[in-house]
Amino acid sequence: RKGLPSGPSARWIRAAPAMVEGDGCHRVAAEHRRSLVGRKLKATSPNGRFRAGALAINKAGGVLVKIEVHGKNLFYFFGPNRTTSTVVVHIHFGMAGAFAVYAETEPDTTANTRLRLTTLDGSQPRLSGHLSAMTVEHGKPGVMYNTLAEKLGPDPLRADADVKRFTARCAGMKKPIGTVLMDQSAIAGVGNIYRSEVLYEAGVHPSQPANTLSSAELAGLWTTIVAQMQSGFRTGSIWGDRKEPLVYGREMSACGGAVTSMAMGGRTVYVCAKKQILDEARQPVAPPPGLVRSGTEHIEGVVPASVSEGRKRRTGEGLGVQHVALKDDATRKAALAWAAEKRCTAAAARRASAKSKGRAAGAKAASR
């Protein structure tokens, strides 16, 4: 694939598109807290699949009070003013959802647009939002939000994340640590790509029983998860500042070890034979000093979605590797420009091919 790293240790295996992971949901929330929270909005359901929820938002008063994120779940609270919420909307993007907010020309909604929001408060800029997602449901904050949030494990990107809940859960489970990391009731927000990447960096084999890991190793694993997901939040790329995976989808890992893959929980996990050793032969990896501060509020230099997507296209990462739910005017313009450039490139290639064939045919005729 054009643009991917070269060399035997950087060779990639084609990977299936991934679900929006926790850092992607936090990026959506951070941008919408800046642009939408406190605004009075009108809700409609273009495809009719969220008609009751749209009516409930309008009946509540339409003011977006706050946004909460727990792992891969977003919660938008609406009410009559900026301090009181009476309706909450729960969103889970799934594999292909997106939440776009437009300040310029609003595009047409699609057959997948379950919720459309438009500003009504008269202040500028006038915004419109289009939401498509696997799950969009509404209810009362004290019932829906509390019930769902209590079922989820600590979120490494929330400031109130409790690492002790994670380590205690691991200590009491015989399941492989690779299975535990995908259990949203144990730790919320980690998806299939992060599972492979953090276990590699921490030097832990996915099949290692969770309850055999020392407290120091679990603390180190948590620190690695927080650091990687914060980097993903800041850069808008699941690879963070590295710009490429350590082990996921590779034939050789970043340290030069041979990579194998296995099915675990219905998904593929990648393992380095050099660094991730199972059972007695495994050497515990010393954890980084101290625990990394969880949450996202303190992170500076967050890369805009349009810049992040542009970098992905230029490096060949592709947007299918990590599905991106955050969309806006700039990402739409960039996508249209990229599509136009691809069409021009394809047309030029067809013309060049036709000329080449024409010259070959002429030469063949002349030689007769």
Domain-embedded: residue 91: yes
- pLDDT given at position 289: 55
Residues 207 and 107 in one domain: no
For residue 150, the number of C-alpha atoms closer than 13 Å in the C-beta half-sphere is 7
318-362 pLDDT per residue, tens: 544 555 667 777 777 777 776 787 788 888 888 888 888 878 777
* Residue 118 belongs to domain with CATH number: 3.20.190.10
> For 36-131, where are the alpha helices, taking DSSP H only?
51-60
Domain-embedded: residue 279: no
The number of distinct structural domains making up the chain is: 2
Domain-embedded: residue 48: yes
Q: Which of 223, 243, 272 is the last residue of a domain?
A: 272
- pLDDT given at position 282: 53
Residues (pLDDT < 50) of the chain are: 1-16, 319-320
Query: Looking at the chain, how many residues does it have?
Result: 368
Q: Which of 103, 127, 151 is the last residue of a domain?
A: 151
Residues 111 and 183 in one domain: no
Q: Which residues, at least 6 apart from 109, have a Cβ–Cβ distance to it below 8 Å? A: 46, 47, 116, 130
Residues 214 and 181 in one domain: yes
State pTM to two decimals: 0.80
Residues 50 and 94 in one domain: yes
Domain-embedded: residue 17: no
State the DSSP H helix or E strand holding residue 216, giving kind and residue range, or none if neither: helix 215-235
Residue 56, token pair as written in the block: 């409930």
- pLDDT given at position 327: 74
List strand residue ranges (DSSP E) for 169-325, in order.
259-264, 267-272
Domain-embedded: residue 281: no
Please state at what angle helix 215-235 crosses helix 163-171, rounded to 10 degrees. Answer: 130
> For 256-328, where are the alpha helices, taking DSSP H only?
305-315
Query: Which among 21, 100, 124 has a CA at the least distance from the CA of 330?
Result: 100
How many whole angstroms separate alpha carbon 104 and alpha carbon 80? Answer: 27
Residues 138 and 178 in one domain: no
How many whole angstroms separate alpha carbon 263 and alpha carbon 32? Answer: 36
For residue 39, the number of C-alpha atoms closer than 13 Å in the C-beta half-sphere is 22
* Residue 204 belongs to domain with CATH number: 1.10.8.50
- pLDDT given at position 3: 34
Residues 28 and 146 in one domain: yes
Domain-embedded: residue 256: yes
Three state DSSP letters for 224-247: HHHHHHHHHHHHCCCCHHHCCCCC
Check if the beta carbon of residue 182 is closer than 8 Å to that of residue 19.
Answer: no
- Secondary structure letter of residue 208 according to DSSP: S
Residues 27 and 81 in one domain: yes
Residues 132 and 251 in one domain: no
For residue 352, the number of C-alpha atoms closer than 13 Å in the C-beta half-sphere is 6
- pLDDT given at position 360: 77
Q: How many helices (H) and strands (E) does the chain have?
A: 9, 11
Residues 131 and 190 in one domain: no
Residues 137 and 172 in one domain: no
Cβ-count burial 328-349 (b if 16+ within 10 Å, e if not): bbbbbebeeeeeeeeeeeeeee
Q: Which of 207, 237, 272 is the last residue of a domain?
A: 272
- pLDDT given at position 243: 81
Cα–Cα distances in angstroms (integers) from residue 337 to residues 98, 235, 332, 343, in the given order:
19, 22, 9, 10
Check if the beta carbon of residue 10 is closer than 8 Å to that of residue 244.
Answer: yes
How many whole angstroms separate alpha carbon 310 and alpha carbon 305? Answer: 9
**Is the dihedral angle over the CA atoms 134, 304, 270, 183 positive or is it negative?**
negative
Domain-embedded: residue 262: yes
Residues 27 and 146 in one domain: yes
Residue 168's SS3 state is: helix
Domain-embedded: residue 108: yes
Single-letter code of the amino acid located at 232: G
Residues 42 and 141 in one domain: yes
Check if the beta carbon of residue 186 is closer than 8 Å to that of residue 166.
Answer: yes
Q: Which residue range is the domain that position 225 belongs to? A: 163-272
